[in-house]
Amino acid sequence: MDTETAAKPPLWKRIWNFPLVAMLVAIAVTVAVIAAMGFVGEALRGALDRDLRGALMVLATIAALIAAQKLVLRRLGERKHDDLPLAGALPGLALGTLGAFVLFSLIVGIAALLGAYFIVGWGGMNNWVMLLFTAGISAGFVEEFLFRGILLRWIEEFAGSYAALFITSALFGLAHIFNDNATWFSSFAIAVEAGLMLGGAYILTRSLWVPIGIHFGWNVTQGLVWDVPVSGNDVDGLVDARLVGDPLISGGAFGLEASVIALVLAGGVGMWLVKRAADKGEVMAPWWVRRRADA
């Protein structure tokens, strides 16, 4: 028996480590965790105030998903990797949140200069706790855990970085087509803006913390700070604002995410992040290309 044959893993292990198999296992584990936390939340219905119960369940679900990452997901596939290293959590979250705040505030500022956005007074900040925990913390963590931490990670390991970016961006945009006031253009805009920016941040840093921070900061800045609809969902922010004029500039009822302003600026930031990742050597070739190179 030659050295190459002796070193070759058994068939069952090669199947278990295959990227798409690892992805399906990761999805199953994640769905099981979220379903279990859903049952816990239902069991607490009536025992706690609605807002308090919602906030606690968001935090408990995040803790459970972090545990799943540490215990299971980081051990899957050929390229073992922890997407949630605790040492980089605070810097990554802070960088992503601050970057998203600056970027979306710039989008709002340009829309105001073009007459598409104006403030009429102070807002009521009604239901700010639920907005913070659902559109901010929950959406930021859970959606990034699924779309970047599972789908992009293992599609990339199989088909390469660029194919994974295209597929997960399209899926992320499509996932928002059923939102209030959504259109096909709004889903396309989200695919370009969020797909490239969040995916590029993940590939560049090989961590979920910066994408989670960007996602959280983006939603909270547009909703709680500038009173812009969050992906089509109307909110009550710190100020009381209006979007008017051409929907291509204002985004219409869906919000500024569906404007060409956000499409150009956020899409440009996403392309810059992907280029930085390529320059850093983080862009991955498809599985079969890597196999030929290894052979």
Measure the CA–CA gap between 249 and 41, rounded to whole angstroms.
Answer: 41
Rg (CA), the chain: 21
The full set of domain ranges for the chain reads 85-294
Residue 58 identity (one-letter amino acid): V
Q: What share of the chain is helix, strand, coil (3-state, %, to 5)?
A: 75, 5, 20
Q: Does residue 122 contact residue 239 with C-beta atoms inside 8 Å?
A: yes
130 Cβ neighbours under 8 A, 6+ residues apart: 51, 54, 55
Per-residue tokens: 89: 């959590």
Residue 274 identity (one-letter amino acid): V
DSSP symbols for 199-250 = HHHHHHHSSSHHHHHHHHHHHHIIIIIT---BTTB----SEEEEE-S-HHHH
Query: Residue 14: which of 74, 78, 73, 71 has the closest Cα?
Result: 78
Instruction: Tell me the average pLDDT across 124-143.
Output: 83
Measure the CA–CA gap between 37 and 75, rounded to whole angstroms.
Answer: 23
Question: What does the pLDDT look like over 175-191, one tens digit per residue?
Answer: 999 999 999 999 999 99
CA 126 to mean position of chain CA atoms = 25
5-9, 70-74, 148-152: which range is least confident on average? 5-9
More confident residue, 150 or 234: 150
Inform me whether the pLDDT recorded for 234 exceeds 90: no
Average pLDDT, the chain: 91
Per-residue tokens: 195: 């797909």
Q: What's the pLDDT band for 7 if we cut at 50, 70, 90? A: low
3-state class of 95 per DSSP?
A: helix
Per-residue tokens: 40: 């816990």
Residue 79 identity (one-letter amino acid): R
Q: What was the pLDDT predicted at 52?
A: 82
Instruction: Tell me the average pLDDT across 194-209.
Output: 96
